[in-house]
Structure 1
């Protein structure tokens, strides 16, 4: 996933502040780094598994110029988490969606036991195992696709602008201090 921080697309307040900064490349780079750090914090704050930590580690500022910078992640599924979408199986005929607490976060392969084979209940899309009382314990639903709701981790546009305004104000104050100390 790639997000571009582009100064021509700025809101009027941030555009005026950015115009006051002498070294625009420093501003754009620092702003993109602030956005990347916030995205990392957002990902780390998500509950759950290792995937979010891996996403946080993969977020970085890739390139910067005087007018634009690119923040990206090479984590598989980053776009899907940010924007949502349809998930389809790549190498199998169906997705296995866990429905039992014991199957949450596990694969079908890890749930197989020699004394407890898994099978699809005839006439359904349920995958599970036979219980000792001749019943059936469903572990997964087999689905041809699933809809992933968005779970955004990158700062929203209004937050991104706030980061830019804060960074611009900081740099302007820093430049003013330098102007006042130069003789």
Structure 2
């Protein structure tokens, strides 16, 4: 055999091996694929835990910022406000300015969020946390400049704020241990 024939044999052998590898890979891929079809629902033997006594669940409508209280509110249903035509007090609308999900540590630096605010601007701050201790919420640049504590694992704190103009600053501090914060500031119009 000459060199040219050897090269053809090697090329044919390599092509055959490559084809065999592709076929073996396709076979493995089909065997390892998950089964397609209906999937049974996961069943848990644990009973749902009842809500703590005195707990008030609150739903905040994302479009208009209204608060809906108690078991009559179904969070899966749209919220409809009926007003007679010409009635005073149009429903409020909200637009999220910022949302923050952060981990706060005890003794660590506070989380500070700022936004420019027009005098008389109305805002809704919703803040909740999960962790071992409460989170202190301090607000500067709003009438009354409230200071609140969000109990981790409890219902979220809802603050309606009226800006005095300039900068609206919100400061979150972990008091007794680490906490995962979930906070949203919306402007109401």
TM-score range relative to shorter protein: under 0.3
Higher strand share: 2
* Structure ID, larger Rg: 2
- Report the TM-score, using the length of structure 2 for normalisation: 0.15
Higher helix share: 1
